[in-house]
Amino acid sequence: MRHGRAKSARRTLQFYKLNAPHLTPPYKVLLDGTFLVASVRNKVPLFERFEKTLQHEPFTFYVARSTLDELDALAKQKSDDDASDNIFQQARQFGLDECEIIENERVPNREDGAMETREFRDFSQASKDIHRLATDGGDNRLAYFVATQDDA
């Protein structure tokens, strides 16, 4: 990692250590489906890249079950169009092989209707679950770093 990028990563981690004391090693990195697809498409070695970014501190990848279900649905939809190289299936397989899976029962407040407001209505179930996990209690009490390619 170049010096500037390493310095920026060090400063960011130092900020979180000072201002969010519950974000401590081993870090928990919650991966989104769009992030998995982009990393597989661009052949990014995720473990090496995160190890450098997190300053060689221990970490674990997590993925929500709804994210895997969404990738599976996209893979089946894509398999009708292109049977050769299915990037969604490869991303789902990475999630199954290399990540700890957060089952739907472990997602906080999944049954309440709080996510049915106007700003969340267009979110997929996977995005809603990731939002619930990252904002449980309003302060990321579960201490996840979220890796996503989404704008929202």
Question: What's the rounded mean pLDDT across residues 95-103?
Answer: 91
Question: At residue 5, does pLDDT exceed 90?
Answer: no
Amino acid 96: pLDDT: 92
What confidence category does residue 127 fall into, taking pLDDT thresholds of 50, 70 and 90?
A: confident
Select the more confidently predicted residue: 120 or 75.
Answer: 75
Question: What's the rounded mean pLDDT across residues 17-27?
Answer: 87
**pLDDT (tens digit, 9 = 90+) per residue, 38-70?**
999 999 999 999 998 898 999 999 999 999 999
What pTM does this model have? 0.83
Instruction: Calculate the average pLDDT of the chain.
Output: 83
Select the more confidently predicted residue: 55 or 84.
Answer: 55
Question: At residue 84, does pLDDT exceed 50?
Answer: no
Neighbours of 43 (CB within 10 A): 6
> Which residues, 6+ apart, have CB-to-CB distance to 70 below 8 Å?
33, 124, 125, 126
